[in-house]
Structure 1
Amino acid sequence: MSDPREGLTVTHRRYIPYSHAHYAGDLVDGAYVLGLFGDAATELCVRTDGDEGLFASYSDVQFRAPVRAGDVLETSAVLVRAGTRSRVMDFEARVVCRSRPGGSGSAAEALPEPIVAVTATGTVVVPPPAN
């Protein structure tokens, strides 16, 4: 029997400011996206357990496409397994808007199809229920 909380999804969107570019081509480091996954995991735990939880591990992190300053990222966390105290989640970060080089300095566009930039699986631990 599966837990009725499994399948719950939380989605955040965030503009990536140019102050977060660390590399040539305005690239943003992968740790920035992992932090966004942590934010989505926190909300998911609050919704399922009334607690922020504590991130225990990431597994199978895949950096599939670049994330750049000026992007708008849509980050989702899906609860895939709820144990007694552990919560396993799948994460996906998609670029939904991107700056457009060659136009004005602030030119940007909403992408017709999101670009999957990062995927991961992570485990969060929550405290035992109060008696």
Structure 2
Amino acid sequence: MSGRSVPEAGAVVTHRRYVPYSDAHYAGNLVDGAYSMKLFGDVATEMCIVTDGDEGLFASYADVQFREPVRAGDVLEVVCTLARVGTRSRTLELEVRVVARGCPTAERPGGAEVLAEPLVATTATGTVVVPPRAE
């Protein structure tokens, strides 16, 4: 896009998402790791739109780490930081944090709490590509 400034490292995009119980697949209301990967795709798409005016395409992931469980009833914060800007590629640092968690009891079946400190559930480095910039 003509007239757009060149994206700079350090830009941040953040999404928040409630994890519905319908997405739990395992004992303990655990959600599969693919859930975090889908969220990484969503936040990376917004980053490309914000920085390049295009949805971009995910080219690769590196160093994906599943550090803490994601459960139904969690509220997640998904953070994408632009780490490196190439001619057409962008390196992104990605993180899923659990900021609130359901804690149902017999007396409070809808019980939940905001965590004092977010739990870092999933991290990854991703590479996206965007179309060449118009001169």
TM-score bracket, shorter-length normalisation: over 0.9
Q: Does 1:129 align with 2:108?
A: no
Counterpart position of 1:120? 124
Secondary structure of residue in 2 paired with 1:40? helix
TM-score, with structure 1 as normaliser: 0.95
- Number of equivalent positions: 129
Q: Does 1:7 align with 2:31?
A: no
Secondary structure of residue in 1 paired with 2:44? helix
1:4: Cα distance to partner? 5.7
1:5: Cα distance to partner? 1.2
1:101: Cα distance to partner? 3.5
Cα distance in 2 for residues equivalent to 1:52 and 1:4: 14
**Structure whose residues are more often strand by fraction:** 1
Gaps of 5+ in 2: 1-5
Contact 2:12/2:81 (8 A) holds in 1 = yes
Alignment of 1:1-131 (within 5 A): 5-102=8-105, 103-131=107-135
Structure 1 residue ranges, 4+ long, deviating more than 3 angstroms after superposition: none
Cα distance in 1 for residues equivalent to 2:53 and 2:12: 16
Secondary structure of residue in 2 paired with 1:32? helix
TM-score, with structure 2 as normaliser: 0.92
Aligned AA for 1:45? C
Secondary structure of residue in 1 paired with 2:25? strand
Secondary structure of residue in 2 paired with 1:29? coil
